Amino acid sequence: MPEDFAAWPKTEVHLHLEGTVSPETLWDLASRNGVALPAASLEGLRAHYAFDGFDRFLTLWLAMCNSLRHPRDYEEMVDGYLAACRRQNVRYVEAHFTPYNHERFGFGGRRALEIVCDRLRAAEAAGGPVTRLILDIPSESVPESGPYTIGLLEQIAEPLVVAIGLGGPEEGFPRSLVAPHFERARAAGYPCVAHAGETAGAAFVREAVELLKVRRVQHGIRVLEDPALVRLLAEREICCDVALTSNTLLTIHRDLPSHPLPALLAAGVPCTLSTDDPPFFGTDLVREYQQAHDVLGLSPATLWEMNLNGLRFGLADTALRRRLLLEFAAWRQEHP
C-alpha cells in the first residue's frame, strides 16, 4: 500500500482542541483581548512553544484558555483545527475539550461547548471532517472541575459529546481522585477514557483500568513497566492513544528510536497514533506517521491498522463508525 501518509484518509483520537491553537493565533487572541502571555513578542512566544517539560506546557496551555474571550475567538480556534484536518485528510477526530477551563476564565463552559459544537456540526454537514468530543476533567483541579464537568454532562444530550476524559498532570494527582465523578458519568451514560502512564508510571494505568473502567488510555506508554498489566490491556482490548513527538518532549522517553510503541504493538495492545497538541510540539499527524515509519520501522500495513483502530476503538455510534470504515475500505481498494 502507498506510503504517502498525507494522502491517507486518517483518524486521530487523542487531540486537544485547545491544543491546536498556533503561536500566531494565540498572539492575535491575547493582543486583541489584552491578555498577558509568558512572552513579550511573537518571536518569544514561538520560542516558548519549544517545551522542555510538563509544567511549562501547562502554563502556556492555561494562558491560551484565558485568551479565548469572545464567540469569534472560539470559532477561530475551531476553524484553525478544521483547516489542519482538511490539509492532512484527517476524516475522523475524537477531540478532547475542557469546559471547566472556559468556565474558570469567565466565558462559560457550556456556552463555549455550544459554539464549538455548532461550528463542528456545520463542518461535518459540509463534507467533514467528522469530530466527536471528549469532555475532560483537568486533574490539577478535580475538587472544582470534577463536579462542574459531570454536572454539565448530566444536563446535556449533545450528539457530538461521546465520553468523559481525564487530562492534566499525573504526579501528585492519582487517577483514583476522579473515580466518583467517573462513576456518575457512567451512570449518566458516558463511556470513560483517561490520560495515564504518560509522565507517571504503570500504577496510574492500572488505576485508570481498574478504578475508572476506561475504554481507552491516552498515552499509556509506561504500562510496559508492569507485564501483567500489559497482558490485561491486550486481553481486554483497551487501546492506547500514543503521541510520539509529545512523548519525546514531555516524558522520560526522550529518544524516539527507543519509544515503547513497537513493544506495545508486539504485546498485542491495540494502539492509535495522534499528535496530542500539534503546534505545541511542532508536529502534525502526517509527520507522526512518517516518524513511526522511518524511525520506529512500522510498516504501512501496521500503520493502516492503527489508523483503523481510531474507528474500531472510537466512541462514535455504530452507524457512523461503519460509514467511515466503509469509506476507508473503499479508499484502500483504490490504493492497493
Catalytic residues: 198
- DSSP labels for 99-110? HHHHHHTTS-HH
Residue 18 touches Zn ion, criterion: CB under 5 A: no
> Of the two residues 218 and 291, which places its CB atom closer to Zn ion in the complex?
218
How large is the C-alpha radius of gyration of the chain?
Answer: 19
- DSSP labels for 16-31? EGGGG--HHHHHHHHH
- Stretch of 5-13, 178-186, 274-282, 324-332 contacting Zn ion, by CB under 5 A: 274-282
165 burial via Cβ count (<10 Å: 0-12, 13-18, 19+) = buried
> Of the two residues 276 and 288, which places its CB atom closer to Zn ion in the complex?
276
- Stretch of 45-53, 113-121, 210-218, 323-331 contacting Zn ion, by CB under 5 A: 210-218
> Of the two residues 18 and 276, which places its CB atom closer to Zn ion in the complex?
276
Residue 288 touches Zn ion, criterion: CB under 5 A: no
CB atoms within 10 A of CB 172: 9
73, 94, 276, 288: which one contacts Zn ion (CB under 5 A)? 276
- Phi, psi angle pair for 322, to nearest 5°: -65, -45
Closest approach, Cβ 71 to Zn ion, in A, equals 26
User: What is the SS3 string spanning 254-302?
Assistant: CCHHHCCHHHHHHCCCCEEECCECHHHHCCCHHHHHHHHHHCCCCCHHH
> Of the two residues 103 and 276, which places its CB atom closer to Zn ion in the complex?
276
- Rounded Cα distance between 288 and 307, Å, is 12
- Residue number of the CB closest to Zn ion reads 276
- Interface mask toward Zn ion for 213-252; x: CB under 5 A: -----x----------------------------------
Binding site for Zn ion (CB under 5 A): 218, 276
